Structure 1
Amino acid sequence: MESQLELQDEIMRCRDKFQEEMPDVLAAHVTFRDEVYKDGALSHKVKRLIALGIALRCG
């Protein structure tokens, strides 16, 4: 199994390639992500904790 550091390195390599190939799509994704995690009815922290719980449950 990969270590978390190896996995993070792979994610960053893929992100860099994605940035080169489709910068507009990546920019839209980043904007969307920022809007999703913005404080509102739920705080940023609570939203991140919910996302963590879902990720852990899904494996």
Structure 2
Amino acid sequence: MNNKATTEKLVKEIEITRIKLHNLISEKSYNLLDSEVIKLSQLLDKLLSEYEDLK
């Protein structure tokens, strides 16, 4: 996969994960210490880091 396609795929994955995290936080009554929230937040951090590495 070329760099542009990789970047576009990563951007889509970041956006999907961001929306999931937003919804999960709401479901968990804004408890940011919930284990599921933390796990998804860490995944989003990883994806954002990968995106930065591609720049």
TM-score (norm: length of structure 1):
0.39
Relative contact order, CA 8 A, sep 6+: which one is greater?
2
TM-score (norm: length of structure 2):
0.41
